[in-house]
Structure 1
Amino acid sequence: MTLLALRFLALTSVRPGEVHAMGWHELSEDRSVWLIPAERMKMRREHEVPLSRQAREILEAVFLLTGKGPLVFPNSRWAHRPMSENALSYLLQRAGYSERQVPHGFRASFSSIMNERYPSDRAIIDLMLAHQNKDRVEAAYNRALHRERRKELAQIWADLLMENASPPADLLGHQKR
C-alpha cells in the first residue's frame, strides 16, 4: 500500500499530507479528478488535481483493498485513520534513498523537469502545484483553471515517470520487510 501511495504522490506532485489523508469521497465519479478540500490544503483553497491514466490505475488497484473504507491510503493498523505521516519517508529510507530523496521532493522534480521542457507553461505548472500567484492584482482577476492543459501535462509527466514501470497490481503482492 505504501509503495502505491508513493507512486501516486510522484504522479500527482501534491504535498505528502494530502495523499496521507486522501478520502474516496474526494474523487470524481470517474476518478479522473481529485478535489482536495480547502481545509487540507496549505493555502486553504480547494485544489483540483487532474489524474493521469497511471494514477487512476493505482486507484483501481487500491480500491480492491480500501474501497469499502473512507480513506484511499489508510493507516496499516487502523483503516479509519490516515496513513502515518512518516510512512513514505521511511519507505524511501529503507529503499536506500536516505538524504537523496524525500516525499516532498517529487514536487521539486515535477516543477524543474516540466518547466525545463515546457517553459511557456510555467503559470500552469505553478497552478498544478497549488502555488499562489505572487501578483495580487493578477490573482484577483485571473481565475483561469486551464483544466485541459493541466490534464495534458499530468499525462505527459506520468508517461515520463512510468515508462517501463510494473503495473500497480504487481505492487500489491510486494513483501513487507
Structure 2
Amino acid sequence: MKMKRPHPVPLSRQAMEIIEALRPLTGRAPLLFPNVRRAHEPISDNTLSRYVNRSGHQGAHVPHGWRSSFSTIMNELHHNEKDRAVIDLMLAHLPKNAIEAAYNRAAYMPRRREIAQQWADMLMDGMEPASA
C-alpha cells in the first residue's frame, strides 16, 4: 500500500484458486507477480497498463478503472450506508469524518468477504476455474 498502513483483503474462492494454480510457478515466493528487474518488488502500474494495451484495449480501459467499476457496481447493488462504508473500506478509502477515522478501526471482514465473493462471481461468470 502506498499509504504505508495495513490493508487486509479478504480473497474470494476464485482468487484462492488462482493463487493455488500459480503456486507451482511461484513456490513460496512472497509475490505472485514480481517485478522482472527487482524480484522483491511487485509489478508496476505501468506493467499493468502495458498488458491492457497489448490485449487490444488501449484507450478503452486502464487498470485503475477496475477500482471505479467495483465501486460503481457494488454501490448500485447495495443501497445502504453501511455497505457503502464497507465498499469504501475495501478500496482503502478513509472515512470522511476524521473522528470516525481516528477511532473506528472495525474491519467488517465478514461483510467484505461476502462483497468480494459477489464481485468475483460477477467477473468470473461463465469462465473456467483456474485449475482447469
Query: What TM-score do the two structures reach when normalised by structure 1?
Result: 0.67
In the alignment, does 2:14 pair up with 1:54? yes
Task: State the superposition RMSD in angstroms.
Answer: 1.8
Number of equivalenced pairs:
130
Quote the residue 2:87 is aligned against: 125
Show the 5 A alignment for 1:26-65. Answer: 41-65=1-25
CA distance in 2, matches of 1:105, 1:146: 24
Report the identity percentage. Answer: 58
1:18-63, CA deviations, whole angstroms, 9 ceiling, x for partnerless residues? xxxxxxxxxxxxxxxxxxxxxxx23221000000000001100111
Quote the residue 1:116 is aligned against: 76
**1:148 is matched with which residue: 110, 125, 129?**
110
* 1:76 CA drift (Å): 4.6
CA distance in 1, matches of 2:35, 2:99: 42
Segments ≥4 residues shifted beyond 3 Å: 75-82
Note the residue ranges of structure 1 that are not aligned, 5 or more in a row.
Answer: 1-40, 171-177
* 1:75 CA drift (Å): 3.4
Quote the residue 1:94 is aligned against: 54
CA distance in 1, matches of 2:63, 2:51: 10
Note the residue ranges of structure 2 that are not aligned, 5 or more in a row.
Answer: none
Quote the residue 1:161 is aligned against: 123
Letter in structure 2 aligned against 1:46: P
Query: What TM-score do the two structures reach when normalised by structure 2?
Result: 0.88
* 1:77 CA drift (Å): 6.4
SS at match of 1:82: coil
Asked whether the 8 Å contact 1:61–1:168 carries over to 2, the reply is yes
Structure 1 or 2: larger strand share? 1
* 1:169 CA drift (Å): 4.3
> Cα–Cα, structure 1 residues 80 and 47, in superposed 2: closer, same or farther, change >3 Å?
closer
CA distance in 2, matches of 1:43, 1:81: 16
> Cα–Cα, structure 1 residues 133 and 167, in superposed 2: closer, same or farther, change >3 Å?
same
Asked whether the 8 Å contact 1:66–1:74 carries over to 2, the reply is no
In the alignment, does 2:73 pair up with 1:106? no
**2:27 is matched with which residue: 58, 67, 70?**
67
